[in-house]
Amino acid sequence: MRAPLDVRRAAVLALLLLASALLWMLHSAPLRAPLPDAGGLRLPCLSYAPFRTPGTSPNDKDLIIPAQDIARDLAQLAGVTRCVRIYGMANGLDAVPGIARGLGLRVWLGAWIGSDAQLNRIELERALALAREHADIVERLVVGSETLLRGELPPAGLAVLLADARARSPVPVAYADVWEFWLRHRDTLLPQVDEAVVHILPYWEDRPVQAERAVDHVIDTHARMQASLSPLPVVIGETGWPAAGRMREGARPGTLEQTRFLRELLLRAQDLPLNVIEAYDQPWKASLEGVAGAAWGVFRSDGSARYSAAGPVPDGRRSAALAALAGALALLLLALVRRTPGSTGGRAGVALLAGALLGQLAWLSLRELLLLAPFSAPWLARSAWLLAAMAWATVEALALAGTMAGVTARRTLLPGLRVAGLVATTAGALWLLADGRYLDLAWPLLAAPLVPLLLQRLLLASEPAPRQWVNALALLLAACAAALAVAEGPHNHDALALAGLMLVLAGASVRRRSLRSIVAERA
């Protein structure tokens, strides 16, 4: 016997309230400890790359950054650090040591080593010449950065270059790579360098480390490396935290998390030789590492400060998520209270709340879109995704408002949009499972159309068209959602939110009567 309609609606409301409360708790959970105050402490050293304006990239071999632009950047950096690290000589970066001298900055000089032997030789000769010219301010010559990680040279070939540089350099010679690759190739590298420069990036570890434990991880890994590579001095060549991007297991990017990491690092690792990545956001890196790759700067790409050594830190991302969840909850409540056909007030209220909700969800995605280089491939893809999701959400919201007011809506567009959304979401889920390390978990883009769609399916008894292949696709999406939740782990709140939304879309796409008929036929 069927439960009365009001009982079913009450059960649906209870479940939605519970889900909203859980999401609220996940996104508003306070830090386990207050942010420390590191006022007065300067960053020991900062990775500097001048490719922070739209269209600039080190991949453009003909690009020369004007010396006055570099001087402007270094003058700003001199206010927060006493040292800069550069990674190569091309694109005008060979001007850095001379400019740094006038500002009282020291330099980690880098020679970029890749797979081209001729370019390697030109790069190394220029770096050695600058090291001799500025030996009093160059702390070390770093020959190659993650060359072995990228697989661009065999260890023996890199060792030859390092030995040559060490024989002719007036400053200590080092090689830089992630700590795992230093352990893997220690026997080949140790005899050829004066120092080991290791990269320790808790966010990018194969087993990501949460921000609350990230500084512990850096200190412990440095101690482990020092014990393993002794008596060679071990220098931390890169460490830091991204201010935006996808969660990796429990490692959440964000301004709040970045600030916490840097302040704790300064307070607890003052005696460690280290360099922070990086000075400015690098929009071009989004094509390699997603949004997270573009947002490691203590300064944004426009030069405005993101990191502060003291004082409170606003968390706009979490605030926007809370506002969106509150809007969704209010919309659900209004849909229950104002469900009488012909209710103009209900229709207007639904339209108003739906618009506010979509605006908040759009802002959550737009915040990250603004970190990307305009008209780059990642920017165009993210923009198209945002526009498509908001268009679908707008049509769903208008259909919901019209149905609640007793208006017969034209439904020629809506079924096609829902099927297209199901297909696109399933394709995205499969992509995440196949190679999702650098793909963003953009749950707001899926939440936008699903809230009004869910209301229509559950509260207004709206049914999709009876297509068996749509049912099969919905079941595939449900399986992908479960696999995504398992793969990303229980601490990845963004992945759990996205997986939950995928399950909602899968459930809303299935024609239940059609499924029952299939079961009956097979029985």
Q: Encode pLDDT of 339-348 as tens digits.
A: 544 444 555 5
> What's the rounded Cα separation, in Å, for the pair 480 and 501?
12
- Residue 235's DSSP bridge partners are 197
pLDDT band at 31 (very low <50, low <70, confident <90, very high): very low
CA angle 101, 103, 106 (to 5 degrees): 55
Give this prediction's pTM: 0.84
The candidate with the shortest Cα–Cα distance to 247, out of 29, 483, 439, is 439
pLDDT tens profile 388-408:
888 888 888 777 766 665 555
294-321 mean pLDDT: 82
DSSP state of 251: B
pLDDT at 157 over 70: yes
For a pLDDT cut of 70, what percent of the chain falls above it? 78
> What's the rounded Cα separation, in Å, for the pair 106 and 284?
26
CB 57 within 8 A of CB 294: no
The predicted pLDDT at position 186 comes to: 95
Least confident range of 142-146, 238-242, 377-381: 377-381
The predicted pLDDT at position 521 comes to: 46
pLDDT band at 10 (very low <50, low <70, confident <90, very high): low
482-488 mean pLDDT: 94
- Tell me which residue has tokens 């939740």: 485
Amino acid at 57: S
- Residue 305's DSSP bridge partners are 299
- Tell me which residue has tokens 């079961």: 519
- Tell me which residue has tokens 């209710």: 343
- Structural domains of the chain ordered from first start: 5-29+315-522 (no CATH), 46-293 (3.20.20.80)
262-272 mean pLDDT: 92
pLDDT at 434 over 50: yes
The candidate with the shortest Cα–Cα distance to 123, out of 197, 280, 131, is 131
DSSP state of 350: H
How far CA 178 is from CA of 147, 175, 301, 308, in Å, comes to 10, 10, 26, 27
CA 466 to chain centre: 39
The predicted pLDDT at position 202 comes to: 97
291-297 mean pLDDT: 94
φ and ψ at residue 332, rounded to 5 degrees = -65, -45
Which H/E stretch holds residue 427? helix 414-435
Residue 473 tokens read as 């696709």
Residue 480 tokens read as 């992908």
String of DSSP letters for 302-366 = TS-B---SSS----HHHHHHHHHHHHHHHHHHHHHHT-STT-HHHHHHHHHHHHHHHHHHHHHHH
Which residues of 230-381 form beta strands (DSSP E)? 234-239, 274-276
> What's the rounded Cα separation, in Å, for the pair 368 and 427?
22
pLDDT at 59 over 80: yes
CB 227 within 8 A of CB 241: no
The β-bridge relationship of strands 83-85 and 274-276 is unpaired
pLDDT band at 362 (very low <50, low <70, confident <90, very high): confident
Instruction: Count the alpha carbons within 13 Å of 466 in the hemisphere toward its beta carbon.
Output: 7
Cβ partners under 8 Å of residue 294, min gap 6: 244, 245, 281, 282, 283, 284, 285, 286, 371, 372
Residue 156 tokens read as 């023996």
Residue 394 tokens read as 């707008």
pLDDT band at 154 (very low <50, low <70, confident <90, very high): very high
How far CA 482 is from CA of 127, 286, 434, 451, 477, in Å, comes to 52, 28, 14, 20, 9
193-204 mean pLDDT: 97
pLDDT tens profile 466-478:
567 888 899 999 9
Chain-wide mean pLDDT for the chain? 84
Helix (H, G, I), strand (E, B) or coil at 518: helix
Which H/E stretch holds residue 398? helix 377-404
The candidate with the shortest Cα–Cα distance to 35, out of 228, 238, 261, 196, is 261
pLDDT band at 461 (very low <50, low <70, confident <90, very high): low
Preceding amide of 97 cis, omega within 30: no
The predicted pLDDT at position 94 comes to: 95
pLDDT band at 352 (very low <50, low <70, confident <90, very high): low
